Amino acid sequence: MTSSDGLIKIVTELKKDGEVLVVCRSCGHMHTLDISQCKDKPAEPCRMTLPCKGCGIKLEVLVNFRRYYRKVADFRGFFWREGEKDIDDAHDMRIVDVSKHGMGFLMIKPVKINVNDMLHLEFRIKSQERMKYIEKDVVVKRVIGNFVGTELVRPVGEQDKELAFFLF
């Protein structure tokens, strides 16, 4: 992904020793980056920039301190604000990632959503060759354009057989 300022963005995970391996998407050169300065703010992604030693392009590195693996998904469904029940209040969405404690989705038609809004999600997931409807309540944690990052009110557990099977 390239940002508006021409920098190549790389998303990477924190290693226990305070370093990450960064591979340039332009030339493939591998860099070891010390990210110990990012440990002060583990709740936020840490952004760093470094020049690639292989091709010279500036690399923007985004270090994410997630506690749980986030799996790419493609589930179609709807969402409602807390208290809305009518089908006319439903908004189309596509869930693009899932973890034990959260989900990210794209609004098909953007609507006004705020951080800390409570939403009800309903989506389909294929389970043993059948489509199964899943319902989850979430709290909005971030809104970026038509992307909505959420935290599950109740984390994925044994009671969520189809979703747990998808994740694990």
pLDDT, tens digit, for every residue of 20-52?
A: 777 787 788 888 888 777 766 555 667 788 898
Domain that holds residue 110: 71-167
Based on the domain organization, do 82 and 57 belong to the same domain?
Answer: no
- Domain tally for the chain? 2
* Residue 60 domain flag: yes
Which two structure tokens, joined as six digits, stand for 154? 């109740």
Confidence of residue 77 (pLDDT cuts 50, 70, 90): very high
**Is the pLDDT score of 11 beyond 70?**
no
Based on the domain organization, do 23 and 57 belong to the same domain?
Answer: yes
Query: Could you tell me which of 46, 63, 53, 62 has the C-alpha nearest to residue 26?
Result: 53
Q: What is the pTM of this model?
A: 0.62
Integer Rg of the chain from CA = 19
Task: Look up tokens 């050169």; give the residue.
Answer: 29
**Is the pLDDT score of 12 beyond 70?**
no
Listed in sequence order, the residues at least 6 apart from 94 whose beta carbon sits closer than 8 Å to its beta carbon are 74, 75, 76, 77, 105, 106, 108
